[in-house]
Structure 1
């Protein structure tokens, strides 16, 4: 009987030590200081560029990929989903220096006004930001003078990004539907 109790105690101790070691060796999450992963001081950057949304012609950069049955009879285009790969330039002319692309989706998400749900990445191709991205999510009430969209993340030099983008229509062609939008982006990042 004493041998059985001793074996039970040894087994219990081994089992408990295994549980404690396992609990400590497989951590789901832990706290870090930014410098532990090489992050330096956070900074605030301002970017200014123009977004060219071309829906007309032989090479559109914005293409409708889905719509609801009622989209074409809706005064606001409600239900349309558009995939974009829009040019970002330094100036308002499409021939000005390219600084990146806006890639993603916008959907006409309002029945009462022209309100877009925008989900996109600004993919930069110029200067020190080449290869870095900013992720944008927000509502764009296109008939408002100035609209504000959230910057919800980024990559490359924009890791841990957060901030906002202010959009202002520069030109809109009623005949073609093509638009040029001026963007001022303010972003905190490391």
Structure 2
């Protein structure tokens, strides 16, 4: 069974054609976004789960070979009670044997405000924006991520994101 994970506001061919016509005549925009990514592996309702590990992962100081899948809330502030602005879905794994090295692929989609229904595709720490949907079609830019909180025991984390997205 296949299903869409992220949906833009209107994907009808006629609407996309109208959008392309506006693109030809329009100037690019720059949007600056700021939000917090809550990655929770602990508790009754985790937003991230471990899905695979290598035979050496438990012995590795960097948990090399560990792979997690996530569907994390994005909020305006660092507290979990802050206003929800969207979700981040994707996967990350520990790719460094000697030092911590994270491999990350995620889609960030917005559920409120003027970007409701739009998404960005991100690929880490200073991450390039590789495209998007809705208002972010043909987006490019960058994201700077900074760890706001990390619990090494539970592996729960809150990551602050600063986004600069150029789009039409």
TM range (shorter): 0.7 to 0.9
Aligned to 2:130: 152
Aligned-pair CA distance for 1:36: 5.5
Structure 1 residue runs of 5 or longer lacking an equivalent are 1-34, 139-146
Q: Distance in 2 between matches of 1:118 and 1:38?
A: 33
Q: Distance in 1 between matches of 2:57 and 2:38?
A: 24
Q: Distance in 2 between matches of 1:166 and 1:117?
A: 15
Offset from partner CA, 1:92-149 (integer Å, 9 cap, x none): 11101000001011111111211111100001101111110000003xxxxxxxx311
Q: What is the 5 A alignment of 1:43-82? A: 43-82=29-68
Offset from partner CA, 1:24-71 (integer Å, 9 cap, x none): xxxxxxxxxxx8532121111100000001010111111011111111
SS in structure 2 at match of 1:38: helix
Aligned with residue 116 of structure 2, among 112, 130, 138: 130
Q: Distance in 2 between matches of 1:188 and 1:97?
A: 25
SS in structure 2 at match of 1:128: helix
Q: What is the 5 A alignment of 1:5-44? A: 37-39=21-23, 40-44=26-30
Aligned to 1:13: none
Aligned to 1:118: 104
SS in structure 2 at match of 1:151: strand
Residue 107 in structure 1 maps to residue 85 in structure 2: no
**Aligned length, in residue pairs:** 149
Query: Relative contact order (alpha carbons < 8 A, sep ≥ 6): 1 or 2 greater?
Result: 2
Q: Distance in 2 between matches of 1:165 and 1:180?
A: 15
Structure 2 residue runs of 5 or longer lacking an equivalent are 1-18
Structure with the higher fraction of residues in helix conformation:
1
Q: Kindly name which structure, 1 or 2, has the bigger radius of gyration based on alpha carbons.
A: 1
Residue 179 in structure 1 maps to residue 157 in structure 2: yes
Question: TM-score scaled to structure 1, two decimals?
Answer: 0.75
Question: TM-score scaled to structure 2, two decimals?
Answer: 0.84
Q: Distance in 2 between matches of 1:49 and 1:36?
A: 29
Aligned to 2:141: 163
